[in-house]
Amino acid sequence: MDHFLKELHSGWAYLALLLLLVAVVNALIGLNSKKEFTAKDRKISLFALIGTHTQLLIGLVLYFVSPLGKAAFGQMSNAELRLTSLEHPLINIIAIILITIGWSKHKKLINSEAKFKTFAIFYGLGLLLILSRIPWNLWF
């Protein structure tokens, strides 16, 4: 089960990152082109939200089920273990909180420019945080 969850978490990460990147680029294009916020734009952002939340749930299950997660907990002197046991989960939870705030804030806005700006800022910050804490040496 541990191996399956690792593979699922790694594989789903590609999809979640792609959806998030598409949502950020879409928000930036919409903001710069002054276009109207449509249902298509909302769906792109919603799919990114769902993809990242699914990735978080898979990661949390993996963290608490994996024997490596339990063994690495509290190992702060080893940089690689610190990344996977503390920095990766904590920063990614913060990133997904920012993405969720962006989704929630857009629902209260009426102006298309404000909606695109909200998605560009919150989803963009979330994407940057996620990219900063991916354990690249374990991924490739």
The b/e string for 102-136 (b: 16+ C-beta within 10 A; e otherwise) is bbeebeeeeebeebbbbbbbbbbbbbebbeebeee
Rounded CA-CA distance 71/61 in Å is 15
What residue segments make up the domains of the chain, in order of their start? 1-138
For the stretch 11-56, pLDDT in tens is 999 999 999 999 999 999 999 999 999 999 999 999 999 999 999 9
At residue 40, the pLDDT reads: 97
pTM above threshold 0.85: yes
